[in-house]
Structure 1
Amino acid sequence: MRFGFTEDQQRFRADVRRTLRSAEVRAAAAEATGTDGVEPDARPLYRLLGKLGLLAVHWPVEFGGEGRPLTDAAIVAEELVRAGVPDTFHVNTIQIVGQFLLMAGSDEQKRRYLPALARGESFASVLYTEPDAGSDLAALRAVAEPDGDGYRITGTKVFSLKTRFVDLALCTARTTPGTGKYQGISLFLVDMGASGVTVSVIPGIGDEHFHRVDLDSVPVSGDDLLGPRDEGWPLLNEALAIERTGLDYHLKAEHWLEAALDALIDHTPDSPHDDRVEQIGRWYGALTADHVLVWEALTGLASGRVNQVSTAVAKYHSSELAQSIAAWAADIPSPEQRANRTRAALTLDSAYREAPGLTLSAGTSEVMLQIMAAAFDSIGQEDH
């Protein structure tokens, strides 16, 4: 269990923080931040971050990184969010797709894709969820049919973020239908500019838009099969565990609580807010505990341990906490702050609309509870 940072980690954090305070980064971050359902193109900001070497510090040097520990990448992720950098591109491109490529990709795939991702010249997303499948990823119906040395993928994926801006997608499809719910599934790297790919926006209330991706006999090279054919389900479970450290949800909870405090101080600076002080203290206590859970999951991954239970605990706690803070803070901005469109008011309005989705993405809270319950049940059986 980690309760503090080493001197090297503290020095590294200070260096990253100084870099992100530059006028150039701050201006680019402001341009990339969306409000009122308007989603700007954040790629120029990420190209700048790539030039500064801040996107994939833990990747090997040969693949565009600096060879630092995974925990240093988490420090960068924390400081990016605290500097006002919208995090979805980083989460999807670096923390999910890029990290999965490091874990399961061939050397050729790593050389082909990772350097451009690390430089902010290419972006990635995931195509897992399908219509009517809910959170059951094994209910997928997309099919990858053999075509010469490659495949053609046909199906529909929904609820991916930033998809109209990305170049590459990690996609699930059935390569051998009829072999069982969890069998015959494979993972592919799909060129989002390929023929047969159609991306459309799904209407929603968030500042970031969900997308529908229709795949109509999309050609995929055999070299873009990720891992062994028909053995995608175990790999997918590992990929999901990588997503479930809870770091991005924790940072949202932290950001939203700070915005709530800014709003309180701004519209009644002389009021002690006695009616809210106790709850504010409880939120900070919960955030501190959440940070420990998140870093327990992160340090496990950094040591090469993919612990499904610890990541489920971290994901569950952080997403539920973020949603609770957003709901509590929704009525804090005053009518004047809303009319003046202050930063705090806009942030909290956006948080209220985004927060419900946090307990659904990367696995619903119910799925996380099932993972925990199954683990505790197996421990109980062993004790008997």
Structure 2
Amino acid sequence: MRFGFTEHQERFRADVRNTLRRPEVQAAAAAATGAFGVEPDARPLYRLLGELCLLAVHWPVEYGGRGRSLTDAAIVAEEMVRAGVPDTLHVNTVQIVGQFLLMAGSEEQKRRYLPSIARGESFASVLYTEPDAGSDLGSLRTTAEADGDGYRITGTKVFSLKTRFVDFGLCAARTTPGAGTYRGMSLFLVDLRAPGVAVSVIPGIGDEHFHRVDLDAVVVPGADLLGPRDEGWPLLNEALAIERTGLDYYLKAERWLDAALEALVDGEPEAVPSGLLEQIGRWHGALAADHVLAWEVLTGIAADRVDQVATAVAKYHSSELAQAIAVRAADIPSPDQRADRTGAAVTLESAYREAPGLTLSAGTSEVMLQLVAASFDSIGQGD
């Protein structure tokens, strides 16, 4: 179990923190942060971060990275969120799609996509969820029919984030319908500017907007099939586990708890709800545990050990905790703080609207509990 960082890691963290404190970075981060249902374009901020070589530090140098460790990349992710950098473009483009390319991409695909991502010049979205399938990829209905040397993809994807700002999507589709629930599934890199692609906003309450992507016989070259045909599920299963470190949810919870404390300090002491201080103490303890667990998962992944149960526990607990903090802390700012739109009040109001989706993304809490329960069933059966 990991409880601290090495001297090398602490020096690297200090360097990253100092870079992110530069006035031009802080100004760009502020301009990229949504509020009151308005979602700004964060790409100028990410182009700046790309120039500073902070987007993909763990990628090989030949693909635009700095050849550092995965744990160093996690340190950068922590410091970016703490510096006010909205993280969705980074999570989707670098941590998910970029990771897929590193895992399963051809050499040509890696050289075509990764350097521009690392420079902050190209962005990606994740196209998994469908209207009738939800987060159950076994119910996938989007099809990819062979067409000469390529494919034609038809279907509808929903609840993708930042999609109107990105260049391509990682799309899961059936290449062999009827092969079985988790068989006959493939992954594609789809140009979202191609004919037949229609992107629309799904009305919601969050500052980040969900999108619907309709694909009408969209032509995808064979060179944009990611990994072997019909072998998408094993890749998805491995990558989803890597996505569930819990670190991103922990960082949201940390930021929202800090905002709650700021609102309390600036408010009237006699207005503090009964039992809230005790609850804050409990949250701090739970946050400390989440941080240790997230780094235990990250350290394992860096050593090529992916523990499906540990990732499920990390994702479940950190997302549930972040949601609980957001819901309870929304009542902390005083009416005056809300009226004056103080920084803490704006943060907590935004958190309250984001919170409902935290226990749904990257696998619902119910799915995480099923994964944990299945591991206990295996132990009980002697497997």
TM bucket (normalised to shorter chain) is over 0.9
After TM superposition, give the deviation of residue 269 of structure 1 in Å: 6.3
Asked if residue 235 in structure 1 is aligned to residue 232 in structure 2, the reply is no
| Structure 2: gaps of 5 or more residues | none
Q: Partner amino acid for 1:260?
A: A
Q: Partner amino acid for 1:81?
A: V
After TM superposition, give the deviation of residue 382 of structure 1 in Å: 1.1
1:50 corresponds to: 50
2:7 corresponds to: 7
Fraction of identical pairs, as percent: 80
After TM superposition, give the deviation of residue 277 of structure 1 in Å: 2.1
Q: How does 1:200-239 map to 2 (within 5 A)?
A: 200-239=200-239
Listed one character per residue, the Cα deviations across residues 284-334 of structure 1 (whole Å, up to 9, x for unaligned) are 100000001111111111111222111111100110010011111010010
1:26 corresponds to: 26
1:199 corresponds to: 199
**Distance in 2 between residues matched to 1:286 and 1:300, nearest whole Å:** 21
| Structure 1: gaps of 5 or more residues | none
1:71 corresponds to: 71
2:327 corresponds to: 327
Asked if residue 171 in structure 1 is aligned to residue 171 in structure 2, the reply is yes
Asked if residue 382 in structure 1 is aligned to residue 344 in structure 2, the reply is no
**Distance in 1 between residues matched to 2:133 and 2:310, nearest whole Å:** 26
**Distance in 2 between residues matched to 1:129 and 1:274, nearest whole Å:** 41
**Distance in 2 between residues matched to 1:273 and 1:188, nearest whole Å:** 51
Q: Do 2:264 and 2:272's aligned partners in 1 also have CA atoms closer than 8 Å?
A: no
Q: Do 2:150 and 2:222's aligned partners in 1 also have CA atoms closer than 8 Å?
A: yes
**Distance in 2 between residues matched to 1:363 and 1:275, nearest whole Å:** 32
**Distance in 1 between residues matched to 2:239 and 2:218, nearest whole Å:** 23
Root-mean-square deviation (CA), in Å? Answer: 1.3
After TM superposition, give the deviation of residue 276 of structure 1 in Å: 2.4
Of residues 58-67 and 270-279 in structure 1, the stretch that sits farther from structure 2 once superposed is 270-279
- Equivalent pairs counted in the alignment come to 383
Listed one character per residue, the Cα deviations across residues 158-208 of structure 1 (whole Å, up to 9, x for unaligned) are 000000000011100000001111110000011111111100000000000
Q: Please state whether the residue corresponding to 2:382 is helix, strand or coil.
A: helix
2:311 corresponds to: 311
Q: Do 2:207 and 2:350's aligned partners in 1 also have CA atoms closer than 8 Å?
A: yes
**Distance in 2 between residues matched to 1:168 and 1:300, nearest whole Å:** 30
After TM superposition, give the deviation of residue 270 of structure 1 in Å: 8.8
**Distance in 2 between residues matched to 1:233 and 1:275, nearest whole Å:** 46
After TM superposition, give the deviation of residue 278 of structure 1 in Å: 1.4
After TM superposition, give the deviation of residue 272 of structure 1 in Å: 8.3
1:124 corresponds to: 124
1:161 corresponds to: 161
